[in-house]
């Protein structure tokens, strides 16, 4: 089994361009898996995986199970907000990506880790929860809803990280969006993740702490916890 994960940071990149680049790496991982199934044990190619960080310009993305009605802007409204709208192949409903948000795309051959998608999502959430704990921010999950939440059992429940995954041939793509220094006003233009409950809101690490947090500092903490949870071996 190979748990070699190549870390890449793409910086700020247009959403469609990042999706195209993800798709190329995703297909590479699947192709290695399929090739290895045809080879004798001594001939097999070592599988490797990717963990990609990036940051997107303002964009709203709609998952396969989402409703376009959860976008509260028309084309003119999108232009006024300097935002775009993209329908994509991950699970989940609508979400927002933008500056000051850490977006993470793990592309993993889960045959090399474990074949349990619910466990995978829980570990991605756990990675974020452990990172928040390092800043003294307590977080949790809400049953039936993905992502990471603060004050989940109160009228002030708020989401700080969204999780949306695409899985094919037990290979993952897409991932998570963690609000760090994010402009939360952009979430007012959607029904976030399709959740219309007035008792549930969105937040950011900056809002919770009262100061901006360096993105690279948070990324380093995320990588540390990902490595522990997935027993990964990092490559650059």
Q: State pLDDT tens for residues 3-24.
A: 999 999 999 999 999 999 999 9
The whole-model pTM stands at 0.92
Mean pLDDT of 78-98: 88
Of 165, 182, 176, 187, nearest to 60 by C-alpha is 187
The CATH number of whichever domain residue 168 belongs to comes to 3.30.930.10
In this structure, of 11-15, 22-26, 87-91, 203-207, the range with the lowest mean pLDDT score is 87-91
Q: Chain-wide mean pLDDT for the chain? A: 92
How do strand 157-168 and strand 200-202 relate by DSSP bridges?
A: parallel
In this structure, of 87-91, 114-118, 126-130, 165-169, the range with the lowest mean pLDDT score is 87-91
Residue-level pLDDT at 214: 98
Of 136, 186, 173, 167, nearest to 54 by C-alpha is 173
What is the extent of the structural domain holding 78? 4-235
In this structure, of 102-106, 137-141, 179-183, 192-196, the range with the lowest mean pLDDT score is 192-196
pLDDT at 200 over 90: no
Q: Which residues are catalytic?
A: 193
What's the Cα-to-Cα distance from 145 to each of 84, 138, 161, 236, rounded to whole Å?
25, 18, 12, 34
Structural domains of the chain, count: 1
pLDDT at 194 over 60: no
Q: State pLDDT tens for residues 139-168.
A: 999 998 889 999 998 989 999 999 989 999
Q: Give φ, ψ of 224 to 5 degrees.
A: -60, -45
């Amino acid at each position: 089994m190979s748990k070699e994960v190549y870390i890449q940071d793409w910086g700020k990149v247009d959403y469609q361009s990042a999706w195209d680049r993800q798709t190329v790496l995703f297909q590479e991982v699947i192709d290695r898996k399929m090739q290895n199934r045809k080879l004798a044990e001594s001939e097999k190619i070592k599988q490797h995986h990717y963990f990609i960080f990036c940051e997107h310009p303002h964009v709203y993305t709609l998952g396969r199970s989402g409703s376009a009605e959860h976008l509260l802007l028309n084309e003119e409204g999108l232009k006024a907000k300097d935002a775009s709208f993209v329908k994509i192949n991950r699970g989940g409903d609508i979400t927002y990506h933008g500056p000051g948000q850490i977006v993470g795309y793990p592309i993993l051959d889960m045959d090399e880790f474990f074949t349990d998608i619910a466990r995978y999502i829980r570990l991605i959430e756990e990675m974020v929860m452990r990172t928040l704990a390092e800043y003294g921010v307590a977080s949790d999950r809400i049953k039936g809803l993905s992502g990471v939440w603060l004050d989940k059992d109160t009228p002030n429940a708020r989401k700080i990280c969204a999780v949306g995954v695409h899985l094919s041939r037990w290979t993952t793509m897409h991932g998570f969006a963690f609000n760090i220094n994010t402009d939360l006003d952009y979430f007012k233009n959607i029904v976030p993740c399709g959740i219309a409950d007035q008792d549930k809101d969105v937040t950011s690490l900056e809002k919770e702490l009262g100061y901006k947090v360096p993105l690279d500092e948070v990324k380093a903490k995320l990588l540390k916890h990902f490595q522990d949870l997935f027993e990964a071996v990092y490559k650059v």
